[in-house]
Chain A
């Protein structure tokens, strides 16, 4: 078609180029067709079909006439002058040549005339007599129709029931009969001989009819035998004869039915009954397998085998009607296939009755699978031969001992699949028990990992008041704040771990009447007019007496959606009663809503934290610290001071939440100057400058929203005693661990870290008292928040402490990063902080805060433990 692009010589283009194939297009495998190729045209190249899916004829003037006038009616012509040329008009006169062609609308082709076809075609001739339509007589009388062949046969003298051809004598007729019977293979010669002998004897009886000529027999249709095997048509397989010898007992005595038969004695041996016969155009081959065999020889003179046959034939005739012959082989029995066996649990259902799928089936449900799910983990473990894990000290309500099946023990697997015990258990737990609040916790054990706590929890559930009184007595055993904390936990757990009763119980009521409808859908639902749960007895009574009004009326606030109000063209009542709508929060069914309502909000947390800080009674000499610029001017500071017994701690806390103003920074600076005797690190100065810088350039926006925590973190970070004054993270989730963490004791996990930190605490305290080395303190304080590396062994730790008491210069290498690296990092972070927007700053700070809080928390805990 087209040459390649690389050809530089003048390209010669033949034909129309194909559309270029897009790279990501899958080329269609169809042959490319141009629109003109798709039109059917006639011989003259005119379009054949027009419109209507191109199957219609020409609209307007198409091919038929080819004139703008289209079909013009023929004008009247008088037939007076040319009577001879009058001829009836036929449809064909108005057709084009193509229409009569092979593909036209009226194709002309050869076909057999009605006379020669077997069935007569209906030929409609419309009679224009008084009765319109088809002539009645023709409908009534049907002519007997004979094909041409029958007529020809009749002409040849054929009669029904006779054969064709010349008349023959009786003998000849008989002979033909015998010959006719043979089809396919030749009859065995011995049988043929028999027939001839028979006919000879018969002919002697009918001598007198010698001159009479008979019409030959009519053609006898070939009667098919019932096919009893699955071989091909006309095939008869090799019978169970041995190839050379006869089968003993098969055809009676003396029947030598060898497959190898010698036609003429000594001349030719043919094989009968072989798989594939001799072809139509082949003569019988010389038997290549012919071997001389003694069986082919007669051992007696004369046809000894013929003799016993005759009596057998006679015998047959005795039992059989004349003209019939007994079948040599009984008909193969029609194989009868038994109907499929019905399933065991099949119950016949009357035809036409429909069964609802909701109807409870009388038969028990078949076990799903292997009944694995009915087994408990313990049962499965027992079946698998697992060593049972030593159980936690826990009441035996949950764990039920599976009675050991002796068979299962032997075979190593469950034979019954479902033990009766299991079934009982599942049935018991099948329904939601209503109104049994105290029983539920037995199935849920939120504090399973701490048995003491669990026991306390259960006591709490059983009798809250008694538990509280008891706890008051045991003040020493559990610290007060811990007790409070635990109480909150218990409260939450009590809410959380009775979801089915607590949450669902109030949504369902017991059926007031036995629900027959569940078992029998046809049972009419009983009318219940007055037993509705939502109507109070007073209402029912009032309605019964007909005293409607105040008694029966109940008004509740309802909140239409704003869109509904909009569609009703009514101002939203919620807008006016905003407070009311807020009072009633949207009901959500998440379990977390229950948890968050108790401790998750800030207020309750802060309260708890205050208790915490109050109880821990930290004896840190913080107020004596040299630098406390944080306590200066903030209102919140003042308030917290009043509130808290340890003002310094709380002051620091709250200070964290507020933004340091420029003035504060300056004051801080000046204070620093005053305390010039202090050996202030270079880094600190740097940070102060950074803070100042930041405060100047970023203060506009940040000062406006008072109380938002900002970049004061950095300033606090470098304070020497910072690790003590860590603010508490108010956002911290103090709810008891839930979900997969439910039974993990985080306190235990964290205890080692606490040890380290508190040790440090003490160490720092001692240092402060001595005021020996500020530098060490500073750096340590900075490092404090992020201690990396493995836990310090306790003994080493102690030793280090002892040393540090004497030798201030000692710095454990593993405890800190190199100073240089740290400086660089700090500078980088602060400088980057100075230019990012507020959001980012706060986010970063929150991270830091979290870290600090942790360390603080640990310290507090440790203190208490020490005592």
Chain B
């Protein structure tokens, strides 16, 4: 893997950036701020494109739709808001959750939004119709939902109750894996065969999706009760995770050796990361700042 270096540093002026997310094609990114706003950027040109205000509390997560025409965001004001990208107006506001909503994702066609909350539920929101109630609510988890991932037919939820649950719509069954540690973030590899789970025992674990066996453990970073996220790079060759020490660690997926380490800001936790879907770009968020990392030579 080639060396990543800082391409751009953007001061978001959002107090703290809770999450940074690339859009579907990696051209833009969204930052969710503690200032109750979402900002849409072009990180490559360091351009602020739009600010979306309407949440009543910190925005915890956001996702862009597949056609980049909508944004769905969730906040600790217990609501999920669907935004129109161009006008910046909230189209719909879903208030079904009983507590802070921690994570939100679109499905592949962006016809459904799936949100997980501190109230232990996962709710499906129909974007297409004007329905205000959730289409379905999953109440299997016994503690906060920390992250959600969606493939074309599966929904993976990670929870503080140390379980990862995979809901397979095709088969109509739910597979729950007991991990033994609080799962702060879960991710799929691009081939869809493995989970990459950030656990709060200071490890990132790689699990086989079908058998539920652990394949690898990645250590070296510091967790310190932060809800650290992880990413898999575009070729599934490396895994990256933030750290409480302000570093971003890169591991080789197969050998589980730490191949690289770059510092975002010393001693400030790097919690949220987002990887470009097709190219070698990485976005990291730390404090009030996001950084775009990339291959300098390729950029030049």
Q: Which residue numbers of A lie inside 8 Å of B, CB to CB?
A: 527, 529-530, 532-535, 539-540, 542-544, 546, 548-550, 552-561, 563-565, 567-570, 573-574, 577
Contact = CB atoms under 8 A, between A and B. Distances in A.
B176 A567 contact: no
B176 A553 contact: yes
B90 to A, nearest CB: 21
Nearest to B131: A563
Contact of A561 (B135, B175, B201): B135
B177 to A, nearest CB: 5
B172 A549 contact: no
Contacts of A548: 177, 179, 207, 212-214
B64 to A, nearest CB: 18
Contact of A539 (B128, B135, B168, B178): B178
A570 B170 contact: yes
A567 B171 contact: no
A552 B213 CA distance: 9
B111 A535 contact: no
Interface string B121-151: 0001010100000011000001100000000
Contact of B170 (A550, A567, A573): A573
Nearest to B154: A568
Interface string B273-294: 0000000000000000000000
19 contacts: A529-B201, A532-B142, A534-B161, A534-B163, A540-B178, A549-B213, A550-B211, A553-B177, A553-B211, A555-B174, A556-B173, A558-B168, A559-B172, A564-B124, A565-B169, A567-B109, A570-B169, A573-B169, A573-B170
Nearest to B162: A532
B170 to A, nearest CB: 6
A530 B178 CA distance: 10
A558 B167 contact: yes
Contacts of A529: 162, 180-182, 201
Interface string B36-72: 0000000000000000000000000000000000000
A557 B173 contact: yes
A546 B162 contact: no
Given A534-B163, A557-B174, A567-B128, A552 B179 contact: yes
A553 B207 CA distance: 12
A333 to B, nearest CB: 55
Contact of B167 (A539, A543, A546, A560): A560
The 10 closest A-B pairs by CB, nearest first: A543-B180, A573-B172, A558-B174, A553-B212, A552-B178, A561-B136, A549-B213, A548-B214, A539-B178, A567-B111
Nearest to A571: B170
Interface string B97-126: 000000000011101100000000000101
B153 interface: yes
A730 to B, nearest CB: 36
B152 interface: yes
A541 to B, nearest CB: 9
Give the most central of A550, A558, A564: most B CB within 10 Å: A558
B235 to A, nearest CB: 26
A273 to B, nearest CB: 69
B172 A558 contact: yes
B214 A554 contact: no
Interface in B174-197: 174-182
Contacts of A542: 178
B115 to A, nearest CB: 14
A554 B175 contact: yes
A653 to B, nearest CB: 44
Contacts of B161: 532, 534
A26 to B, nearest CB: 37
Contacts of A573: 169-172
Given A533-B142, A543-B162, A573-B171, 20 more contacts: A529-B201, A532-B162, A534-B163, A543-B178, A543-B181, A548-B212, A549-B212, A550-B212, A553-B211, A554-B175, A554-B178, A555-B175, A556-B173, A564-B169, A565-B169, A567-B107, A567-B109, A568-B153, A568-B169, A569-B109
A588 to B, nearest CB: 15
Given A534-B161, A567-B128, A558 B173 contact: yes
Nearest to A565: B169
Interface residues of B, number: 40
Contacts of A543: 162, 178-181
Give the most central of A530, A543, A557: most B CB within 10 Å: A543
Interface string B233-256: 000000000000000000000000
Contacts of A559: 172
A542 B162 CA distance: 13
A616 B201 CA distance: 72
Contacts of A552: 177-180, 212
B194 to A, nearest CB: 12
B214 A570 contact: no
Interface string B205-219: 001000111100000
A644 B108 CA distance: 63
A558 B175 CA distance: 9
A779 B99 CA distance: 72
Contacts of A560: 136, 167, 169, 172
B197 to A, nearest CB: 11
A455 B175 CA distance: 49
Contacts of A577: 172
A779 to B, nearest CB: 62
Give the most central of B107, B162, B179, B182: most A CB within 10 Å: B162
Given A556-B173, A558-B172, A534 B142 contact: yes
Contacts of B175: 553-555
A574 B170 CA distance: 10
Give the most central of A544, A549, A574: most B CB within 10 Å: A549
Contacts of A570: 153, 169-170
Contact of A564 (B109, B136, B180): B136
A560 B174 CA distance: 10
A555 B153 contact: no
Contacts of A568: 107-109, 112, 152-153, 169
A429 B296 CA distance: 70
A567 B112 CA distance: 7
B208 to A, nearest CB: 8
Give the most central of B167, B168, B175, B180: most A CB within 10 Å: B180
A527 B177 CA distance: 20
A556 B176 contact: yes
A529 B183 CA distance: 10
Contacts of A549: 211-214
A558 B171 CA distance: 9
A779 B213 CA distance: 83
Nearest to B151: A568
Contacts of A569: 109, 152
Contact of B126 (A532, A555, A556, A567): A567
B168 to A, nearest CB: 8
Contacts of A564: 112, 124, 135-136, 169
Nearest to A563: B135
Contacts of A565: 169
Nearest to A539: B178
A594 to B, nearest CB: 21
A532 B112 CA distance: 31
A813 B201 CA distance: 93
A554 B166 CA distance: 10
A337 B172 CA distance: 77
Contacts of B180: 529-530, 540, 543-544, 552
Contacts of B142: 532-534
A175 B171 CA distance: 119
